Each structure stands twice: as C-alpha cells, then as structure tokens.
Amino acid sequence: MKDIMEIKQLSREEKLRVMEAIWEDLSSEEQSLQSPTWHESALKETEQRVQSGHEQILDWKEAKKELQKRFE
C-alpha cells in the first residue's frame, strides 16, 4: 500500500482514480455490510418528519448552498 507521502505526490486525476477503485472494491462487498440498528430508527423518524411537514426535502444543490451559508 502507498504511504501518505506517495499519495500526496499523485496528481488529482490519479487520486480520483485510486478513490474510485477503492469505492468500487468497498461497494462490491455491499451485501455483507450491516446497517447499525439505530439507522432504521433514524430513517423512520426522518420519514415521519417529512410526512408531517416538519422536515423539508432539498435537492443536493440547494442543500450545499444552505450548508455553505451556515458555515461562512
């Protein structure tokens, strides 16, 4: 495995290729991954807030803008 200094010397494109390869490898194991027990509860809670009107769904571009405003 490459150490951090080797990784830092990679171009942006090479780093992205490495990340994609790692992601592809990790996602191929998706069937063996178990969600934590709290995850289902959190999803149900969010769904209830959306249905009751207490939570608003934003597309990714809108969500990014909102987050950027909060952390400026």
Tens of pLDDT along the chain (72 residues) come to: 568 889 899 999 999 999 999 999 888 876 777 888 899 999 999 999 999 999 988 899 999 999 999 988
Residue recorded with tokens 């490495």: 18
Q: In angstroms, rounded to a whole number, what is the distance separating the alpha carbons of residues 14 and 44?
A: 39
Is the entire prediction scored with pTM above 0.85? Answer: no
DSSP the chain: ---HHHHHTS-HHHHHHHHHHHHHHHHTTGGG----HHHHHHHHHHHHHHHHTSS----HHHHHHHHHHHT-
